[in-house]
Amino acid sequence: MERYLGLPNVVGRRKKESFQYLKEKVHNRIEGWSTRMLSQGGKEVFLKAVLQAIPTYAMSCFLLPKSLCRDMESIFAKFWWQKAHGRRGIHWCQWKYLCRSKENGGLGFRDMAKFNISLLAKQGWRILSNPDSLLAQVLKAKYFPNVNFLYSRLESNASYTWKSIWAMKGILEEGLCWKVGKGTHISVGNDSWIPDVNKSKLLDLAMNLNDVKFADLINQNNRTWKKELIFSTFPEDVAEKIICIPLAEEPHDDF
């Protein structure tokens, strides 16, 4: 991956220098358009569709230094506020406020650091949800042959690509939730399966759930929750959320 992007085979400590070409691409694209008269609406489209799209591929493969993301945002802000080519304009507000959605008073520009994180987390989700893909098979064979992505460990000699994707594992764990099917793969007390109930709260209940099997919570003949058992086992607020989870008429595998 690094070689394909024109980077050294191993990205060392000087990561920011390795990705300077992204800033140069942004500068060159701005220089090619600076002589044209663009309205603020035109600038908005140009920023969103062209300038902020330049680092997308690199961001989907590597966790870029935050300082580099700030540098690119500084370039975007300078272009947005300038009155004409070579004429600096007044920055009437900070860039972070322009990154808010239009419903919240911003213009919907991307926060580049957060955008980078979201793209890498999406790669981790693809590894989890599509384990038969070529990328998932290659990474699994090299870095986590005997476990799934969520239980993988980071080795010191791992590539920068793998380090970047692995760093998003914690973010995925915070948001992942099992879709209830047969219940055979779900641990009642140790897995996240109740929407809006974090894993730490379930772990607090785990001591009381050791003898509870997931299949015990479901009437298998008509595929409904056993409400009396659920309300006697879980706190009322948790029980209310459980019985709101829809169960398929035909049992399927958990995913």
- pLDDT tens profile 134-175: 999 999 999 999 988 988 999 888 899 999 999 999 898 888
pLDDT above 90: percentage of residues in the chain: 44
Q: What is the mean pLDDT of residues 103-112?
A: 95
Pick the closest to residue 162 from 81, 64, 48, 61 (CA basis). Answer: 61
What are the φ and ψ backbone dihedral angles of 219, each rounded to 5 degrees? -80, 105
**Is the pLDDT assigned to residue 6 strictly greater than 50?**
no
Rounded CA separation 187/64 (Å): 36
Q: Which long-range contacts (CB under 8 A, 24 or more apart) does 243-247 make?
A: 245/180, 245/193, 245/194, 245/195, 247/180, 247/218, 247/223
Exposed e or buried b per residue across 141-166, where buried means at least 16 C-beta atoms within 10 angstroms of its C-beta: eebbeeeebeebeeeeebbbbbebbb
pTM of the model: 0.78
Q: Helix %, strand %, coil % for the chain, to 5? A: 50, 0, 45
In tens, the pLDDT along 21-52 reads 999 999 999 988 866 778 889 999 999 999 99
Cβ contact 75:30 at 8 Å: yes
> What pLDDT score does 8 carry?
43
- Enclosing H/E stretch for 225: strand 224-225
In tens, the pLDDT along 225-247 reads 988 888 888 888 888 988 888 88
